């Protein structure tokens, strides 16, 4: 079923809701034994990326979008360029209270359409073993697994901590 949502570019007034969604989803993903690692990852990601979305994604020749239902942000994602012919899907999150309504599929379709609009023929993305619904979505949407790794080091893109990560791509 499709949720009644609209997708539009991030605006400064969205910053607090986007921040809260990012924090809440990552805290829900965190296994108890990695709670401290997740809190450090959240803090680093906020400082390096999420609290400066226009500057971060602008510098990466990308963009950031939010999904709204009844004027409330229920989803989000970013795109950043990773080469002449590819963008990377980043930060695709759906509010847990709004899940199972097709929002993630709509966000993914919007991201693919944005790449096509920019004449970028490939979309890359990654997710972790902690997100089985995301793994299923990407596989169902035609993404090809290109590599797997165990993330040991932390960055604004991964918690580290030995979490298994999956990297996908799709030619659009």
Residue 66 and residue 77: Cα distance in Å, rounded? 7
Q: Is the pLDDT of residue 114 over 60?
A: yes
Q: Are 38 and 25 in contact (CB under 8 A)?
A: no
- pLDDT over 50 (residue 58): yes
Residues 6 or more apart whose CB falls under 8 angstroms from that of 50 comprise 18, 19, 22, 91
End-to-end CA separation in angstroms for the chain: 24
Range 135-155 average pLDDT: 89
Ordered structural domains, the chain, with CATH: 6-125 (3.40.630.30)
Q: How far apart are CA 115 and CA 160, in angstroms?
A: 29
How confident is the model over 20-45, as pLDDT tens digits?
999 999 999 999 998 998 999 999 99
The pTM of the full predicted model, rounded to 2 decimals, is 0.92
pLDDT value at residue 152: 73
As a residue count, the chain comes to 172
């Amino acid at each position: 079923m499709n949720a009644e949502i609209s997708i539009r570019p991030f605006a400064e007034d969205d910053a607090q809701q986007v921040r809260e969604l990012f924090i809440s989803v990552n805290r829900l993903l965190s296994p108890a034994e990695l709670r401290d690692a997740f809190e450090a990852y959240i803090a680093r990601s906020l400082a390096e990326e999420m609290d400066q979305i226009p500057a971060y994604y602008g510098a990466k020749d990308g963009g950031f979008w939010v999904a709204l239902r009844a004027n409330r942000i229920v989803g989000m994602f970013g795109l950043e360029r990773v080469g002449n012919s590819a963008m990377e899907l980043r930060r695709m999150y759906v509010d847990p209270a709004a899940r199972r309504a097709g929002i993630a599929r709509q966000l993914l379709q919007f991201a693919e359409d944005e790449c096509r609009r920019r004449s970028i023929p490939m979309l890359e993305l990654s997710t972790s073993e902690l997100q089985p619904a995301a793994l299923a979505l990407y596989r169902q949407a035609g993404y090809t697994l290109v590599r797997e790794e165990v993330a040991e080091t932390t960055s604004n893109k991964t918690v580290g901590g030995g979490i298994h990560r999956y990297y996908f791509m799709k030619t659009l």
